Amino acid sequence: MTETRTVTVERDIPYPAEKIWRALTQPHLMEEWLMKNDFKTPTVGQKFSFTEDWGSIDCEVVEVEPRKTLSYKWVAFGLESVVTFTLAKSGTGTLLRVEQEGFPVDQQQAYRGAQQAWPEFLAKLEQVVSRQTA
């Protein structure tokens, strides 16, 4: 079995899980903090893509537990990984944990890119959530 690495980022967001869930699952909100996409609904087996000027990422939803867990395959440039968002109640709102697992040790550039990108994505996500009305 090939050894792989995981990028894990946590952010305590001072809003309820419901608002964060919307930002994770509504295409127009996902576009604001992550990328353009053709996401429909959080349903296991749903296939969708993220697109940017540099190319696209093919995805498939593999796990859904509303307002708690969303997980999907993330396939781009020969790398197949899994991104999982986990939401848990915290003292100030919701703890959002993102794990992207499956980086082979020889995919150093992709691994470092994810380490840099996810904190930036989550900062944008928090801004998107803060603009939502109740």
**Is the pLDDT assigned to residue 2 strictly greater than 80?**
no
Burial of 102 (0-12, 13-18, 19+ CB in 10 A): buried
pLDDT digits over 48-77, tens only? Answer: 999 999 899 999 999 999 999 999 999 998
Model pLDDT, residue 74: 96
Residue 80 tokens, joined: 């197949």
Model pLDDT, residue 134: 59
pLDDT digits over 4-53, tens only? Answer: 999 999 999 999 999 999 999 999 999 999 999 999 999 999 999 999 99
C-alpha 106/C-alpha 103 separation (Å) is 8
pLDDT digits over 75-133, tens only? Answer: 998 899 999 999 999 999 999 999 999 999 999 999 999 999 999 999 999 999 999 87
CATH code matching the domain that covers 1-14+59-134, chosen among 3.40.50.300, 3.30.530.20, 3.40.50.1980, 3.40.50.720 = 3.30.530.20
Model pLDDT, residue 132: 84
For 14, which DSSP code?
A: S
Q: Output phi, psi for 114, to 5 deg.
A: -65, -40
